[in-house]
């Protein structure tokens, strides 16, 4: 049975499920199989749109699934596919956001980060945040059943955190070059000494951010 869960991380690191139940009507969306390759990017653009319209924050999106604000990580998206059932592939979507982070939490995070409360300047109501995000994601996914995720990938391109920057992609061997955007499927394009390389997955790091746009 499809469901929706909201989870809060306590200050000392414990995780408590604060709301979990059956998905409401309309939350079940059917997408064409080819849309799955760009789904995490499309969802990032949808979340960015929701936060922009509700809280007036302008996110950048780091391939493939990270959400950044002013150069600091605000959250991320994780997608897992389950086994085929009744002729369809089921997808579990996870969205993690730093919402109201205690100041001392930053000592255990090994990278620049921020939270939504700092960006907005006031405490964030998590229930309203969840509703606002769902109010964008659900109809967008329903429309994508017919139109695919192309328009959301275009919006992702306008928020591309890596484009024009020197990057390295983990692998054997690793790929280094200048991030050159994404292709029609959401794969990362890297301009290397040997030409444009297409990357479908992997961890991407910045080699340098000096002079980056």
Among 39-53, 104-118, 195-209, the least confident range: 104-118
How much is the pLDDT for 15? 40
Identify the residue with better confidence: 174 or 211: 174
Residue range(s) in the chain whose domain bears CATH number 2.30.30.100 = 166-207
CATH of domain 3-158: 3.30.930.10
| Average of per-residue pLDDT across 137-164 | 88
State how far the Cα of 127 lies from the Cα of 130, in Å rounded to an integer.
5
How much is the pLDDT for 77? 95
Residue range(s) in the chain whose domain bears CATH number 3.30.930.10 = 3-158
CATH of domain 166-207: 2.30.30.100
Side-chain-facing half-sphere of 86: CA atoms under 13 Å: 2
State how far the Cα of 150 lies from the Cα of 140, in Å rounded to an integer.
12
State how far the Cα of 50 lies from the Cα of 155, in Å rounded to an integer.
13
Q: Give the N- to C-terminal CA distance of the chain in Å, as an integer.
A: 45
What is the model's pTM?
A: 0.83
Tell me the sheet residues that pair with 206. Answer: 167
* DSSP code, position 34: G
The length of the chain, given as a count of residues: 213
Residue 49's region, left for phi above 0, alpha for psi from -120 to 50, else beta, is alpha
Tokens 């049975």 correspond to 1
Average pLDDT, the chain: 83
How much is the pLDDT for 81? 80
pLDDT in tens, 1-43: 455 566 665 554 444 444 444 555 545 566 655 667 789 999 9
User: Is residue 9 a contact partner of residue 15, using CB atoms and an 8 Å limit?
Assistant: yes
Q: At what angle do helices 39-55 and 126-147 cross, to 10 degrees?
A: 130
User: Is residue 112 a contact partner of residue 101, using CB atoms and an 8 Å limit?
Assistant: no
């Amino acid at each position: 049975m499809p469901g929706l869960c909201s989870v809060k991380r306590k200050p000392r690191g414990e995780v408590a499920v604060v709301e979990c139940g059956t998905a409401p009507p309309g939350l079940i969306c059917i997408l064409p199989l080819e849309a799955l390759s760009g789904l995490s990017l499309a969802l990032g653009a949808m979340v960015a749109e929701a936060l922009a319209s509700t809280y007036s924050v302008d996110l950048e999106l780091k391939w493939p699934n990270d959400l950044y604000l002013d150069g600091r990580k605000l959250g991320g998206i994780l997608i897992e596919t389950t086994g085929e059932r009744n002729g369809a592939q089921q997808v579990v979507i996870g969205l993690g956001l730093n919402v109201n982070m205690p100041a001392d939490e930053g000592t255990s995070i090994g990278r620049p980060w921020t939270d939504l409360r700092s960006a907005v300047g006031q405490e964030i109501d998590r229930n309203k945040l969840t509703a606002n995000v769902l109010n964008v994601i659900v109809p967008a996914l329903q429309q994508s059943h017919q139109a695919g995720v192309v328009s959301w990938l275009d919006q992702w391109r306008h928020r591309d955190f890596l484009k024009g920057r020197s990057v390295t992609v983990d692998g054997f061997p690793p790929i280094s070059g200048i991030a050159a955007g994404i292709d029609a499927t959401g794969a990362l394009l890297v301009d290397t000494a040997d030409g444009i390389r297409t990357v479908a997955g992997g961890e991407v790091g910045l080699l340098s951010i000096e002079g980056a746009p």
